[in-house]
Amino acid sequence: MIIVGLTGGIGSGKTTVAKMFSALGVPVYIADDEAKKLMRTSKVIKRKLIALFGENVYVNGDLNKPFIANIIFNNEQVLQEMNAIVHPRVASHFEKWANKQTSAYVIKEVAILFENGGHKACDYVIAVTAPKQLRIERLLVRDNSSEEKIEAIMKNQWTDAEKVKLSQFVIENVDIEKTRNQVTAVHAEILKKLSKS
């Protein structure tokens, strides 16, 4: 199966772009959603997360997100330990999912693709970009978050320039209609590349 990674910084519009690919009939895997599902349901992951963070990591059986976020986005060591527990499970879950798809290619949306070396398992990578200030403004509206928390998350992520250098496709997501046109063009280009290979 041909795997196209879709990545971008927090608030760049990855999910917005992923939905546009989905509307074109491309199967889309949202790694973050699946990671959170596994963190809620896998006994092995739950046990390891409790060992790492303590009992407060779950509240009434659900993930205690503010508690986790407050720790991991201020402590890179713990962030990496959590990722080492969760991400290998997501990788095998993705593989099973991808093997069931029958389309020309699939999209794998991952917020931290390059940062974790996940791009090496992709045939192509699409980077979604948007100016930092615009991303912050979107998140302040969407999440009722603080600028401080957003900056803390951004510190753990590569810059757009670094991601663009290693990506085969770039979608600049500022004007939504222009974004839609870029998605259509990238989809056509990928299909063309695949028909030649």
Ligand X SMILES: Nc1ncnc2c1ncn2[C@@H]1O[C@H](COP(=O)(O)OP(=O)(O)OP(=O)(O)O)[C@@H](O)[C@H]1O
Residues between 138 and 157 with contacts to ligand COD, criterion CB under 6 A: 153, 156
CA distance 136 to 113: 20
Q: Which two tokens stand for residue 5?
A: 């990674």
Residue 86 or 107: the one with the smaller Cβ distance to ligand COD is: 86
Residue 39 or 125: the one with the smaller Cβ distance to ligand COD is: 39
Among 15, 101, 116, 168, binds ligand X (CB under 6 A): 15
Residues between 120 and 179 with contacts to ligand X, criterion CB under 6 A: 138, 142, 173-174, 176, 179
Classify each residue of 138-169 as buried b or exposed e, where b means 16 or more C-beta atoms within 10 Å of its C-beta: bbeeeeebeeebbeebbebbbebeebeeebbb
Residues between 71 and 130 with contacts to ligand COD, criterion CB under 6 A: 72, 79, 83, 86, 90, 110-112
Among 13, 45, 85, 169, binds ligand X (CB under 6 A): 13
CA distance 136 to 145: 9
Quote the radius of gyration of the chain (alpha carbons, Å): 17
Instruction: Give the annotated binding-site residues for ATP.
Output: 11-16
